[in-house]
Chain A
Amino acid sequence: MFRNALGKTFRFLGYTVQYGCIAHCAFEYLGGVVVCSGPSMEPTIQNSDIVFSENLSRHFYCIRKGDIVIAKSPNDPKSNICKRVIGLEGDKVCTSNPSDFLKSHSYVPKGHVWLEGDNLRNSTDSRCYGPVPYGLIRGRICFKIWPLNDFGFLRASPNGHRFLDD
């Protein structure tokens, strides 16, 4: 009877390891469900919304301007940030505040992206910590799942004026 219990425990552990590995591969290479918190992406994503993020784009390097991405925070690698890509490498971005009299621009360095939240007034983003290395991006948010009255693909940026054309 003891050997039966031992056999059952090992089989349970084996299944746990196997499903854990499948879950890791799915989230790392395909995508997963993410719960967002914070006001920095309002009105596109509200606090406690549930979204689906796909992780294929970052492996194939086809993140575009205007995509909403999840990235590791540059100042705290254990937490994630959710922002919109305003500029890719080589793009010109506006680094000054709207209230500044003199506008300042700079170019996004190679291998980096410029991220900004949709809620410009309440968002710490690249305007605060500078361009973010592409290697920190975890996935691209493509779809909102919850709340159901807002189900579907995510809207375009409400801040079209932040996208500068060369």
Chain B
Amino acid sequence: MAQAQGFGRRYIKAFFKGFFVAVPVTVTFLDRVACVARVEGASMQPSLNPGGRQESDVVLLNHWSIRNYDVQRGDIVSLVSPRNPEQKIIKRVIALEGDIIKTIGYKKKYVKVPHGHIWVEGDHHGHSFDSNAFGPVSLGLLHARATHILWPPKRWQKLQPMLPPERKPLQKEQE
């Protein structure tokens, strides 16, 4: 009787020990290193979600590479939406701080991106809620960089930073 009780207590102890190791490590990994997310919407077509609602892409989001807020023009990034903090949006970085760009449908025709901000746009112009609607976004809202498409298997690829030539900044502050 006493031996069976000893075993039960040992299992409970082992369970809690494992729980307190596994949960914080997993949560920290998903918050700081990388996580996976399904892309919804048509704002990044044709790069992401070309199949529409039938086949949403699943992307790998890399938090670690942007821990120093080091983004390049052409990167696909996910950020906290400035209009709705409960939502994350995924867009392409078009301009960095100091660049002067021509906007599409923004209240000002030419914008110089302020210090500590970036200009993001979806690839599907006209169907995208991006900086052309809410202006430059603060780098502090940056969530992760999308590095790979993981699903569906036929779209398995590494996402390369690609800036559409017609969206290049008119004047760059840094090279």
Chain A residues engaging chain B, CB cutoff 8 angstroms: 17-18, 20-22, 24-25, 28, 61, 71-78, 109-112, 133-136
Contact = CB atoms under 8 A, between A and B. Distances in A.
A134 B85 contact: yes
Given A74-B116, A76-B116, A136-B141, A61 B86 contact: yes
Given A61-B86, A77-B142, A133 B24 contact: no
Interface string B125-150: 00000000000011111100000000
B141 A17 contact: no
Interface string B85-121: 1100000000000000000000000000011110000
Given A73-B116, A77-B69, A133-B85, A18 B138 contact: no
24 contacts: A18-B25, A20-B28, A21-B27, A21-B28, A21-B29, A22-B24, A24-B27, A25-B28, A74-B117, A74-B140, A75-B116, A75-B117, A75-B138, A76-B115, A76-B116, A77-B69, A77-B116, A77-B142, A78-B68, A111-B85, A133-B80, A135-B140, A136-B140, A136-B141
Contacts, number: 73
B82 interface: yes
Nearest to B86: A61
Contact of A28 (B31, B114, B117): B31
The B contact surface, by secondary structure, is mixed
A134 B82 CA distance: 7
Contacts of A135: 80-82, 85, 140-141
Given A24-B27, A24-B31, A72-B138, 16 more contacts: A18-B25, A21-B25, A21-B27, A21-B28, A22-B20, A24-B24, A25-B28, A72-B140, A76-B115, A109-B83, A110-B84, A133-B80, A133-B85, A133-B137, A134-B85, A135-B141
A10 to B, nearest CB: 14
A110 B83 contact: yes
B84 A77 contact: no
Given A73-B116, A133-B138, A25 B27 contact: yes
A17 B32 CA distance: 13
Contact of A24 (B32, B68, B140, B141): B32
Contacts of B69: 77-78
Contacts of A112: 82
Given A110-B83, A110-B84, A134-B85, A77 B27 contact: no
